[in-house]
Structure 1
Amino acid sequence: MGLKRGEDAWLNQPRSRLAMPLLIVAALASALLVLYAAGSLPLAAGFAAAVLTAAALMVWYQRLYPPDVVNRDATPDWTVARAAADASTMAIAVTDRAGKLVCASDLFGEWFPGYPTPPAITADEALSASLASVARAAWRDGEARHEGMVQGALRLDVDVTRTGRTEEYLLWRFTPVRLPSALDDVHRFLTGEAGRQLGEAGIMAVMIGGEGRIRAANGAFLLRAAGRIDANITGRDFAAHMRVDDKGRLFLAREEQGGLPLHLLQVPLKRAAQPHGVQTSAQDGPMLLLLIDEPSGGGGTSALSYIETLLSLLPFGLAMADRDGRMLFANHAFARAAGIKGDKPSYPGDLVVREDQAAVADAVRRFAVGPQMSGDIAVRMRDNPDDPVALSLAGVRGLGEAAVLLSLKDNSEESMLKRQVAQATKMQAIGQLAGGVAHDFNNILTAIIGHCDLMMMRHTPGDSDYDDIQQVKSNSNRAAALTRQLLAFSRQQTLRPQILQLPDIVADVSTLLKRLLGENVKLDVTHGRNLGAVRADPGQMEQVIVNLAVNARDAMPEGGTLHIQTYAVPAAKVRDMRQQILPVADYSALRVSDTGLGIPPDILAKIFEPFFTTKELGKGTGLGLSTVYGIVKQSGGYIFAESELGRGASFVIYLPVHSGEAEQPAAPAALSARADTWGTGTILLVEDEDMVRAVAERALTRQGYKVLTANDGEQGLEVLAGGEEIDLLISDVVMPNMDGPAMVARARDTHPDLPVLFMSGYAEEQLRKSIDIANVAFLPKPFSVSQLAQAAREAMAQRPAAE
């Protein structure tokens, strides 16, 4: 600093020495000009003297009050900057244009040992290259940022700013990112009201990471370890705040004299998953450390009471056992997870099934002696033997009788989710099986119904065989209804969705419901306002209401009331419901509830399974609710069951509000069908089932068509390439060798305008999603002779006229 000021003074000296001669010369020149102009020597001399006097006064004033010298090139006092950086929660470093580290905080040295110079602060070349790019951007733009840098157990955001009076420095700020994790609850526990209460009870609590650095601490530890309750020690090494004397006792490093020895209790918070039976050190993961002053008498009873007070406040289940395996303490969370409802059990083995008691007792004995270790064993609780849970054990020392810390997680919600996933998987497998069975059975029913139709064409109602044939066809139609239920459960039935209002459907089916319910059951129907229109099959929705009503009637053998309610559920209400399965949207809801016996909780989870029934043998197929479930899900809706024993049951159906344009309802098939099904032309029939192909060929031939047949797709292409003009292609969808869609795709290459009619036992909606072929018609199996003829005639009518 002094050198810079001397240089400035020296630079100012030539200006003072040159100023006086210049003023004298200027005064003489001015006097000569005045003498020449006025011709008076005294006037010229007086003017020169006045100029000289004014100049002398100015020089004297400058020497008396010299201007302040600003030292712009003075070296900064980095001690002040370093002190300010150490008070921050982030690591700070400063580099100059030459790439040298000129200042860094202590926290920077802890996170980056050896004080490396940014950007080369780690051995990761890719990270160094990224930081170098950030530095160049900061020199160019004034600031830059790099997010998500990983340094050990830390995750840091790096902010680089160009700074300084002439902006010749880069300021590097490394800010730790707080990621949400399961440890957040413990962090809030320590820094909140519960942590303050622990401090008042004399318990110091610290949460450290697996690397041994402090993540959170309560006020009692901050006050004694750092001297201030508002001290910021996050990220610092916990061991630096502790010391051990020659007797192995633990003290706070700041309390060098007169401090009491401390009891240290380690509570593992999180460990990496290990194979069954493998032990891991208690230091492997984040831990909650509890420090308690050892009483002057050296006993552990007082310390144990402190620990029991702490464990009763923690939100996760913890218990303690002595070396003999006896239970000493269990907090409320542990009791809830273990199913303890009365007195505390004598041994941990009393909580598990008989087969696991020996394993638990042996584990407690092993962890009670030897080094402090921790591990997990899988056990089955006595109250819930079907779902194994993980019992964590950790050896503790210095707490008197307490030798083992037990931890049990309340995984009831997790078990419920696992059961739901298993249930969904089972339902999906059964649905695929049911769909396959229904598809094959539909082929058989198609042949039976077709042959019945053909025989009825040769018999009149007066013939002796007519009634028998009619009975066979009637039973076949009942079997077809059963397959439709199977397809409804597996969500593979053919739906004819329309835009409709739920109150209209309820009104249409109310008359039928009154006859089904009988005199003992009262029907109560209410409708809400502002219901949105939904898109569903009206016939299938009527089936849903009928099935639910029949089940409700059977649940009220002594009579009761059946409530049917429709109401609007806006998206805001769905959001408030916090339902994990129901997406946020606008819905129209249908609630069907009764005042019957209710459904037991163990049965409530199984009611939508196919063939599950609680009715007597012969009084139920077990397909009623599974059919309801399949229709609702295939319509894009959701169904939930609610019940309490003795208070009835409720089924709530949510159908999404249709936002598209209104559609015109399709005319019933019976009304739109033409009376005349006769026609002319050549039809190629491709079907791998011989019985279906035979009855379809006979039916179409009787209607006046010429029919060519093929067993699979490859034969169908050969017939098509034979040269004969084909007016219509009728094909099954699923066939060996080459299926129907593959055959049609190749046939359209040579016959682009050929009409196609697919026959299938699967739903039309499912087929259209999997078949990317335009201008094709579908005929669901089983079908009658007249339905086949009608479908063929309508498909041929779609062919464009020849030019």
Structure 2
Amino acid sequence: MPTPTPSQPSAGQPRFAQSPIGQRMRADTLWNYFQHSPMPLKVVSRHEDLVHHNAAFGRLLGYDSPQPIEARRAQDIVFPDDLGRLNQAYEQVFQGHREHAKAEARLMHQDGSLIWVQGLIVAAPTQASKSRENPIYALVICVDISRQKEVEQRIEQSERMRSLGLLASSVAHDFNNILTVLASYAGLLRADLESEECDKALGFLNKIDTAITNGVTLTRQLSDYGCESSAKVIDLNEHLQNTDSMLSGYFDQNFSIHYELAQGPAPIRVAPGKLDQILLNLALNALDAMPDGGEFVIRTRAVELQPGALNAHPSLSAGEYLVLEVCDDGEGIPFETQSQIFDPFFSTKTKAGGSGLGLAIVYSILEQLGGAIYVDSVPQQGTTFRLYFPRAELPAPPRPEQLN
């Protein structure tokens, strides 16, 4: 049986076919498997040139089987917002830090739509580089996860609405306290004005203004949480301090909340509403784990993961991160179920109302951000969740206006 010839080559394909790895693939059945695999496959060079792809990859993006994709650069078919994490995964492989890496990105279909794809990037040794330490090429195995992403978004929206109902209940309680303050000072103001002691009346008016400002802040928090918001660079520590009143509404006098925040800037790129959702889900988990009260600790720290530390953090790439640790001294999680807690619909709650989606949503959000979440828990001693957020670049300060 003759070896099939490749489809009409793009500019990079003849060069690849004549390369050592191309000749080796032609020399055995691997070429056959590559060309006719139902899995979308592509080969990328260390310069991120798209040097070859099979028919299934072409079909994934809406091209006819014999027609190669015209783009010569792998990044030309990737949605711009996803280039950062995809390039990071390529670097891990081509710099020899890992033999393989995973990344999710949106690819641009021929009709202009976007397709969510998960790619497994595998170092491909050649005769010039027989080891996988400095590969010239990488094989990328693609899986269409568009449907999965759609389901995740629906689940996330459902969980957000459930959390929003709980948040609204807490805000209503706090807002009622504010209204009580307003009513009290309004009564005092009325009595004072009737006795013509206007100096005290101004003091009461100032307190009313302060109470109104607090009410506006609470309603803005509720509005921001319920709406979709775009990712932006925020300071993690500053955001935690601003949401203290939101979290405090869930814990009564039997609980104590402590903050241990790292010194210096803590920039991360995230939608503020999603960060609030993460905090709320973890706070509710801690609340369930401490039915008789306890201590809830939130701390942050900055870390830099070196390539040698990646075995302990398999979901992360080397680089700088901000770590958010959320701790409680509650009942803990049984060892036999700790590997399942991030699965959708898995719940250890015996009370009605637990959807089993909270931690799955947190996991999904961190994964989308290029981060990860880990858990350390000892039954009857407590639980610590460690959330890794990639450190973001601080926005450049505005340039001073030049006056002539």
**TM bucket normalised to smaller:** 0.3 to 0.5
TM-score scaled by structure 2? 0.42
Bigger radius of gyration among the two:
1
The one of the two structures with greater contact order (alpha-carbon pairs below 8 A, sep at least 6) is 2
TM-score scaled by structure 1? 0.22
